[in-house]
Amino acid sequence: MDARTGIFRALLCQAGSLHNAPIGIVPIGIRKPGTYKIGPFNTLKDYRNREMRNMMNFNFSADSYQMRIRDLQWLILFLSTGFDAQIAMNRQSLGFAAPASGGIFDLVDGEWGMDFKFVNTEKERYTTITLEKAMEYENALALIQGSTTPADLLPTISADPISGGNERGENFNNYAHPWFLAVEGPTGTAIFSKDEILSRNFTIATKGQKNGYNKTIVDYLSFTLELVATNGTIEKMTELMEKDMSPSLTVKENYNWSTYVAGVLPTSEIYKFNPNVLTHTSEFDLGDARRTAKITFQGDLSLDQFTFGYGAANGGVGIGATETEKAAGGTVTLS
């Protein structure tokens, strides 16, 4: 029979909690088209060019539009302690009979690798999450065969205050779009005014190495902030070049429209880099077609260089004690 396409949902949670009461749910939710590919890995060939079984590689990747500082904190924790994940495909039949599973893959051994890349530009904001692992052929077959076992999706997540929305993990209250507030370097001094910025790109990406099972062992998170502005005056060029090589840096984004109330300041997501964390370079384009100034901050940080704060004192709401309050903005300090 013909198989129907589509990924129903994907989520991550704290290792060991998927089949009980999931802790720290990070749903992919609202997203771009995703992929889930399974194929040979490290195969062998004999003298007659016959390829023989060895391992199978599993790779899931999708770009989510609903990642916040709260989710970043959980993803960093998952890199250190492991995680459970579920990848559920669309059902293959409907009607009064029990629906045939399109594959519900519960990844619960805590040994899967994860890479992610957070991207925030003037045009879009998303996080690419990639889960990957290779395993022996027999174990791969058992995982595929076992994916038809669950009759229904577990756990139920539509009532969760974070994933909420629906069983796909889609919650438009958590959708985050670019809403630039300020970039200060050093903190308290705007690098460019908002209207001067021609383009901006703020990225956070995992950096590590693969082990024998094609699992990424993440050593660092790489940060890059790139600003291109129309203020290419001699005064601005001088100002950028006279900055300390590694000043403090603050990146501020307003939170999404769902928390906005007319006349009330929106909540914020704030990234505060202490001095001596990132360095910067400047370059200038003074041609006939354009005159711009560009500054780039970059550096790699280990996984223990992050401190997260929530509540009204950190750009969010309340005292930051509940998961709902943590989902509405916050501050991450990098030292």
Count CA within 13 A, CB hemisphere, residue 257. Answer: 4
DSSP of 140-157: HHHHHHHTT--SS-SS--
DSSP of 220-267: EEEEEEEEEES---HHHHHHHHHS-SS--EEEEEEPPGGG-BTTBPPP
Residue 265: per-residue pLDDT: 60
Residue 153: per-residue pLDDT: 67
Residue 322: per-residue pLDDT: 82
Which two structure tokens, joined as six digits, stand for 331? Answer: 């501050």
pLDDT along the chain (335 residues), means of 10: 86 90 91 97 96 97 94 95 92 60 84 95 96 96 82 70 79 87 95 96 97 96 98 97 97 70 69 98 96 98 95 86 83 96
Residue 164: per-residue pLDDT: 65
- Residue 229's nearest CA partner among 118, 122, 123 is 122
Q: Cα separation of 99 and 95, whole Å?
A: 7
